């Protein structure tokens, strides 16, 4: 008799206990599937080699066949051989019936399986046909895990859809399953499927921290125990069983404590005494290894801090410190940073620095100690010149109990800085210095000092300006200021000398001392005038005592040697003394004219003024003054008298005027000169320039005569006729060009006669009065004038020739007078000089030869042989009365060399 049973994989072990070696043969649809399922169930089942041949359909009885189709499970075929076996089979049938009624299928899958990993043929195991999965709306539901597993509706296979992490699903629970609900419609059926997630060793042991710190005093005894925090493994079972090991070291060993239901815990045991000064800390490695295949490990660093005990005193690295610093360091400047070391730590290592009781109060004022850091800083002025070394004793004490003390000495050497400029002292002065002092005269003694040392205290001196003095070194840092060249007070009266002392420091410092050397005056300069002679112009008729000029001489000396007094160098001027003409003020040098000067009497006054100083002996010099007396219009024109041996006044003349009587033929034509008025003026220049005007006749009658403006010639303006009065009285006004102008009046009486009544006069004469010999006198005057003009001209030519010959042949001798170059001036139509007098005056200065000759010639006749110039407004019909031209010789001056 054969029985067919359907079993799930968890039931195999039960069946295995009952039917062990009882001839159980398992069948399934295919041989391959049976092999796979039996291998997955248990390797202990001893039925693998007893699988017989199978066919597609192994069941023929309808009830069994339906059962197999619905469950899609395995079939166990058994042939009973005894009563016990039959009872066992009956029990198996009852269990299978209960399982079939519950409708639950169980699978297993390892965690971390890849996507698509086969789990089981869920459609076949639930007794569902593949063709009816879609029509019956086959679907899979799971609370919170719906995406981990999926069913392929084409073949009915349950496979892994996404990563399954057992530790994430179930934590450290030993059993972990995914519960699925399979739902189909038409009719509605619900199947429960349980998929067990098998653990794999995918997690390494981990510690909660990467480093564990343990603080252990160096004074702990041997075999002291220090519990450690163990590792944890997220896996379960054998994969979570941990073992520990400790890195090799000489101080600690590892001990393991097993706690019930809590695993193993590591413990450190002290095997050797600790010394913090040698090993302040230890770093060990604790490693945990799980029991999985392959093994995974995790580790943690054990940092063991050895706590200190005050068993070491502070120590300086040396007992004596030598420090060099510059003087004048600013306050809070760091001198030295003492750094004592204490092998202890914590409060035992904390140290306090302080000055020893051996340190003097002065050093305590100079330096400041920081008790925490050991810094010694400057607290007061450090001056090399006060002290160049300091010895500072320092104590350092830790804060342990009991405290421990150590000592050291700081030797501070102060370096010199160039902070002191040289000092210059002038001990004696010999002032003022005479300007005629000898070269090498000692004027002052100078000493220099510098408080610095070395090159900073080496001083050199220099003098500016050096001329005319110099510094001579007489001893170390002692100098003499001596005269190096001749002095001249007039060039430089005072010398501002600067003595500069400079040391050899870097940068160098210097000091200066000023020495003012005054040069005393010696009377070695005579008064000097700005120029050797002065030319002064003074108008004549000056009031007596008039200030005409001021002479000024400068004396380059000083004080009494520069006081200048003035005086005249006395001489005679003609018959009179010079002092009767001028005087000079002794202090101011003002020159005064003591009496009115007359240009007509004295045109040039030349004299010398002497200037003398008040020195001993006195020195003096002279200056020449040439005083030219300028003409003023103080002389009215004067009519010339008849040319008689002794000129007589004209009868009937008034206001300096005169009368001229002249017969005139009625047959003369227009422009005929009938008479000429002659006049002279004692003045010169414009003041002697004369012009002639015809006064209108009484009653306003038009006169047939006119007078030339500058020649005084009276000519007819038209032909005379019977209507003209036989006696014509003409008034001619003679006027000079001075300011104000002065005048004289001449009366001309013309008698009109028939052409056969009287002979024509041959020349013009001046009227000296009415008489029978007027015609003869006029002829004589003309003759005399012609002779005089020819003589003067000859003399002029002879003088020019002689002067030229002398200048070309012989050099002028000193003190002799040489002829000057004559100047020839011709008048124009605007005026002429009509001064017919000849005047010559000789003016000389001093007692020697005359210095200058002044000759003035003012001839008025005859006309100068130059082209005539016709006056505007005059008639042009053959009359030459309006054409004037004369030679004038102004000045001929012979200057003495």
Phi, psi of 125 (to 5 degrees): -70, -25
3-state secondary structure 221-237: CCCCEEECCCCECCCCH
Average pLDDT, rounded, for the chain: 75
**CA gap 25, 45 in Å, rounded:** 12
Which backbone phi and psi does 590 adopt, to 5 degrees?
-75, 135
**Binning pLDDT at 50, 70 and 90, where does residue 701 land?**
confident
Q: Looking at residue 204, what is its pLDDT?
A: 86
Query: Could you tell me which residues come within 8 angstroms of residue 616 by beta carbon, excluding any fewer than 6 positions away?
Result: 523
H-type alpha helices, 629-698: none
pLDDT-based confidence at residue 765 (cuts at 50, 70, 90): very low
pLDDT value of position 27? 39
In the structure encoding, which two tokens stand for residue 841, read together? 């005056």
pLDDT per residue as tens digits for the range 372-400:
999 999 999 999 988 999 999 999 999 98
DSSP 778-807: HHHHHHHHHHHHHHHHHHHHHHHHHHHHHH
Separation CA 581–CA 28 (nearest Å)? 182
What percent of the residues of the chain are helix, what percent strand, and what percent coil, each to the nearest 5?
15, 40, 45
* 139 DSSP β-pair partners: 183
∠ at Cα 543 (537, 546), nearest 5°? 60
Model confidence pTM above 0.85? no
Q: What are phi and psi of 712, to 5 degrees?
A: 80, 10
CA dihedral 779, 712, 746, 705 (to 10 degrees): 100
Residue 242 has pLDDT above 70, yes or no: yes
DSSP helix/strand/coil, 16 = helix
Residue whose token pair is 């840092």: 477
φ and ψ at 645, to 5 degrees?
A: -55, -40
Q: What is the pLDDT of residue 482?
A: 92
Q: What is the predicted pLDDT for the residue at 364?
A: 93
Helices (H) and strands (E) in the chain, counts: 8, 58
Q: Kind and range of the H or E element at 862?
A: none
Of the ranges 24-28, 288-292, 862-866, which one carries the lowest mean pLDDT score? Answer: 862-866
Residues 6+ apart with CB under 8 A from 20: 46
Q: Which pLDDT band, with edges at 50, 70 and 90, does 218 fall under?
A: confident
DSSP per-residue codes, 160-215: E-S---HHHHHTT-S--EEEEEEEETTTTEEEEEEEEEE--S----B-SSSEEEEE
What is the three-state SS of 377-388?
A: EECCCCCCCCCC
The alpha carbon dihedral of 384, 387, 388, 394 has a sign of negative
CA-based radius of gyration for the chain: 80
Average pLDDT over residues 350-362: 92
> How would you class 516 by CB atoms within 10 Å of its CB: exposed for 0-12, middle for 13-18, buried for 19 or more?
exposed
SS (H, E, C) 241-276: CCEEEECCCCCEEEEEEEECCCEEEEEEEECCCCCC
- Which stretches of 20-62 are assigned E, i.e. beta strand? 25-27
| 816 CB-side CA count, 13 A | 9
- Residue in this structure with the two tokens 């013009």, named with its chain if needed: 764
Give the model confidence (pLDDT) of 712-735 as tens digits. 999 999 988 888 888 888 999 999
Which pLDDT value is given to residue 827?
31
**Bridge partners of residue 76, in order along the sequence:** 5, 26
Q: Which two tokens stand for residue 40?
A: 């997955």
Provide the β-strand partners of residue 282: 304
The whole-angstrom separation of Cα 71 and Cα 56 is 16
Q: Is the pLDDT of residue 880 over 80?
A: no
Confidence at 824, pLDDT banded by 50, 70, 90: very low
Instruction: Decide: 514 and 428 in contact? Cβ < 8 Å.
Output: no
Q: Lowest mean pLDDT: which of 53-57, 576-580, 642-646? A: 53-57
Q: Identify the pLDDT of residue 851.
A: 36
Nearest to 854 by CA among 887, 810, 808, 823: 823
In the predicted model, is pLDDT for residue 785 greater than 50?
Answer: yes
Task: Classify residue 467 by its DSSP letter.
Answer: T
Residue partners of 657: CB distance under 8 A and separation at least 6: 639, 650, 744, 745, 746, 747
By the 8 A CB rule, do 662 and 749 touch? Answer: yes
Tokens (6 digits) for 83: 């009563």
Reply yes or no on whether the pLDDT at 803 is more than 70: yes
Task: Give pLDDT, residue 781.
Answer: 54
- Selected residue with higher pLDDT from 337 and 830: 337
The more confident residue out of 532 and 19 is: 532
Euclidean distance between CA atoms 162 and 713, whole angstroms: 161
Cα 6 to Cα 460: distance, rounded to the nearest angstrom: 130
CB distance 233 to 200 below 8 Å: no
**758 CB neighbour count, 10 Å cutoff:** 13
pLDDT for 59 equals 31
pLDDT at 661: 73
Most confident of the following: 128-142, 450-464, 534-548, 755-769: 534-548
Is the per-residue pLDDT at 25 higher than 60? no
pLDDT level of residue 660 (50, 70, 90 thresholds): low
What does the alpha-carbon distance between residue 429 and residue 378 come to, in Å, rounded to a whole number? 46
């Amino acid at each position: 008799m054969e029985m067919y049973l359907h079993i799930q994989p968890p039931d195999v072990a039960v069946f295995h206990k009952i039917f062990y070696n009882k001839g159980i043969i398992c069948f399934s649809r295919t041989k391959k599937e049976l092999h796979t399922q039996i291998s997955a169930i248990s390797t202990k089942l001893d039925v693998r080699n007893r699988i017989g041949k199978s066919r597609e359909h192994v069941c023929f009885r309808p009830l069994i066949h339906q059962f197999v189709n619905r469950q899609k499970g395995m079939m166990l075929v058994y042939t009973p051989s005894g009563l016990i076996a039959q009872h066992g089979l009956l029990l198996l049938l009852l269990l299978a019936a209960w399982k079939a009624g519950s409708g639950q299928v169980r699978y297993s899958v390892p965690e971390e399986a890849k996507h698509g990993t086969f789990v089981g043929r869920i459609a076949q195991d639930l007794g569902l046909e593949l063709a009816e999965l879609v029509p019956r709306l086959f679907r899979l539901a799971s609370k919170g895990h719906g995406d981990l597993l999926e069913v392929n509706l084409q073949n009915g296979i349950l496979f892994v859809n996404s990563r399954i992490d057992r530790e994430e699903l179930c934590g450290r629970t030993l059993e972990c399953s995914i519960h699925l609900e399979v739902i189909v419609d038409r009719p509605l059926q619900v199947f429960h499927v349980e998929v067990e997630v098998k653990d794999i060793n995918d997690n390494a042991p981990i510690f909660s921290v990467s480093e564990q710190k343990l603080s252990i005093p160096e004074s702990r005894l041997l075999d002291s125990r220090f519990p450690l925090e163990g590792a944890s493994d997220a896996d379960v079972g054998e994969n979570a069983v941990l073992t520990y090991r400790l890195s090799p070291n000489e101080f600690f060993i590892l001990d393991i404590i097993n706690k019930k239901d809590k695993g193993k815990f590591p413990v450190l045991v002290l095997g050797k005494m600790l010394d913090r000064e040698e090993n302040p800390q230890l770093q060990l490695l604790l490693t945990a290894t799980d029991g999985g295949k392959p093994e995974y490990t995790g580790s943690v660093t054990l940092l063991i801090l050895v706590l200190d005990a005050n068993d070491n005193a502070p120590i300086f690295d040396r007992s004596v410190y030598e420090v060099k610093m510059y003087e004048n360091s600013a306050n809070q400047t760091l001198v030295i940073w003492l750094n004592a070391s204490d092998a202890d730590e914590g409060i035992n290592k904390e140290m306090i620095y302080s000055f020893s009781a051996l340190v003097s109060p002065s050093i305590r004022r100079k330096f400041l100690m920081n008790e925490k850091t050991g810094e010694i800083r400057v607290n007061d002025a450090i001056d090399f010149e006060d002290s160049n070394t300091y010895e500072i004793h320092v104590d350092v004490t830790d804060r342990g109990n009991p405290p421990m003390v150590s000592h050291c000495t700081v030797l501070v050497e102060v370096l010199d800085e160039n902070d002191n400029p040289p000092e210059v002292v002038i001990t004696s002065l010999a002032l003022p210095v005479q300007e005629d002092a000898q070269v090498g005269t000692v004027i002052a003694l100078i000493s220099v000092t510098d408080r610095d040392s070395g090159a900073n205290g080496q001083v050199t001196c220099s003098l500016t300006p050096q001329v005319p003095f110099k510094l001579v070194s007489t001893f170390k840092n002692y100098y003499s200021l001596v005269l190096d060249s001749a002095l001249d007070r007039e060039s430089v009266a005072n010398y501002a000398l600067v003595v500069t002392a400079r040391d050899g420091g870097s940068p160098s410092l210097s000091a200066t001392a000023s020495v003012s050397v005054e040069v005393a005056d010696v009377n070695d300069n005579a008064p000097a005038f700005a120029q050797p002679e002065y030319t002064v112009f003074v108008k004549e008729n000056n009031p007596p005592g008039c200030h005409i000029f001021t002479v000024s001489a400068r004396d380059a000396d000083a004080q009494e040697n520069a006081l200048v007094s003035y005086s005249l160098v006395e001489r005679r001027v003609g018959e009179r003394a010079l002092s009767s003409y001028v005087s000079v003020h002794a202090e101011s040098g003002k020159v005064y004219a003591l009496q009115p000067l007359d240009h007509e009497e004295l045109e040039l006054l030349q004299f010398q003024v002497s200037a003398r100083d008040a020195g001993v002996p006195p020195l003096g010099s002279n200056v020449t003054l040439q005083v030219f007396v300028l003409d003023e219009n103080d002389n009215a024109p004067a009519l010339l008298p008849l040319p008689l041996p002794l000129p007589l006044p004209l009868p009937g003349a008034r206001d300096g005027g005169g009368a001229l009587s002249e017969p005139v033929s009625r047959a003369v034509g227009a422009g005929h000169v009938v008479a000429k008025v002659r006049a002279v003026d004692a003045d010169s220049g414009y003041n002697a320039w004369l012009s002639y005007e015809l006064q209108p006749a009484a009653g306003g009658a038009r006169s047939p005569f006119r007078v030339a403006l500058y020649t005084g010639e009276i000519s007819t303006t038209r032909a005379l006729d019977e209507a003209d009065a036989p006696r014509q009285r003409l008034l001619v006004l003679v006027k000079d060009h001075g300011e104000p102008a002065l005048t004289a009046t001449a009366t001309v009486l013309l008698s009109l006669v028939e052409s056969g009544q009287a002979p024509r006069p041959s020349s013009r004469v001046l009227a000296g009065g009415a008489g029978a010999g007027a015609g003869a006198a006029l002829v004589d005057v003309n003759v005399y004038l012609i002779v005089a003009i020819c003589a003067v001209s000859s003399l002029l030519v002879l003088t020019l020739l002689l002067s030229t010959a002398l200048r070309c042949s012989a050099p002028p001798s000193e003190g002799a007078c040489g002829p000057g170059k004559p100047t020839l001036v011709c008048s124009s139509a605007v005026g002429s000089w009509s001064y017919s007098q000849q005047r010559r005056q000789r003016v000389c200065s001093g007692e020697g030869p005359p210095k200058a000759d002044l000759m003035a010639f003012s001839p008025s006749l005859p006309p100068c042989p130059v082209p005539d110039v016709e006056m505007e407004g005059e008639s042009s019909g053959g009359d030459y009365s309006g054409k004037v031209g004369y030679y004038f010789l102004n000045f001929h001056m012979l200057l003495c060399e």
